[in-house]
Structure 1
């Protein structure tokens, strides 16, 4: 049975409406707060198993899952658990993404990069560069939700110019979420005198 991913987000009050500032600097009238979905361990397990099934059915078996902190940690850990592999994470130090805490990657180790939400894929790509620098091989990207800029396996949506992920590595996600996104100078919510754009994610409040 196919999961209704949007219902999981709605039931967890994780599909927000308002005036939001995205990590890219752009504005949107909707926002996905995956932490609200993942705060329920049973739900996190269900979603991670569904994502793991996609990856396994594609014939991919990573040696390790790596997530960029902070937003990707819960999703990545649960995915690693579902796949039966180890888990590591990258984090920013003075604005630079890096591996710390004794985490190491072996030469040619097969790595899957996992986020909670894939927007343009910028943070995921930074994490990928960290493990590649140590000799790891990134075999796939994954996220619970795809904002529709990058093309995922099983979706008819085409890749958009904003996507930063490479074309030769597959992206797996459970659902596409397509929202309006505006540059600040063109944001109708700003022009209509709406409340100031807020950042409810991990880099804001």
Structure 2
């Protein structure tokens, strides 16, 4: 599957000057919301991702996504896997399981994001789920930013990756973009003003 082509077709592989959630700057940005606004496209991507997860033989009871960005990807993946879909969300800066959602002790959970960068939000979600007694068995995302190793590749995870090495990360493709600290950003030095296109304000 040409995942990059699908993102480009949806005007979701952006070029410019962007502030990432980490605070670093980049000249490219993946905007998965633009991909997922088309239900047909979302189904194609989620079905492909689900197939690789099914082939692994991992047992999954529920897909849990961190809000806001992961909700659509998580719901579509749960549909494709024929499992339950839930999400965690921030309240006063802390991830919580709310809205009447519950997990059972030993329930096997897959944490799903639209994009995995370092895996920070995914790990926040996993911590909440495990504190409630469920078991996180895997992670998944439509796109992997290349810091963490996805299943089916021989890459080495970078030091910035926060995902555990003993649990698989399923993703459709790796997208490795140049990143710069604000102090060293050549775009800033050239006079360009960075924008923040994502869903998070922090």
The TM-score by the shorter chain falls in which range?
Answer: over 0.9
Alpha-carbon distance in structure 1 between the residues aligned to 2:107 and 2:43: 25
Once the two structures are superposed, what CA deviation does each residue of 1:46-80 show, in whole Å capped at 9, x if it has no partner?
A: 10010001101011121000000000000000000
Report the equivalent of 2:177: 179
| Structure 1 counterpart SS, 2:95 | strand
Report the equivalent of 1:51: 49
Deviation at 1:29, TM superposition (A): 0.6
Structure 2 residue runs without a partner (length 5+): none
Report the equivalent of 1:152: 150
TM-score (normalised: structure 2) = 0.98
Report the equivalent of 1:14: 12
| Structure 1 counterpart SS, 2:183 | helix
Task: Give the one of 193, 200, 203 matched to 2:197.
Answer: 200
Alpha-carbon distance in structure 2 between the residues aligned to 1:199 and 1:92: 19
1:113-124 aligned within 5 A: 113-124=111-122
CA RMSD of aligned residues (A): 0.7
Equivalent pairs counted in the alignment come to 201
1:19-168 aligned within 5 A: 19-168=17-166
Question: Does the 8 Å contact 1:55/1:61 carry over to 2?
Answer: no
| Structure 1 counterpart SS, 2:75 | helix
Deviates more, 1:154-163 or 1:78-87: 154-163
Once the two structures are superposed, what CA deviation does each residue of 1:4-58 show, in whole Å capped at 9, x if it has no partner?
A: 1111000000000011011111111100000000000011011001000110101
| Structure 1 counterpart SS, 2:127 | helix
Question: Deviation above 4 Å: which 4+ runs of structure 1?
Answer: none
TM-score (normalised: structure 1) = 0.96
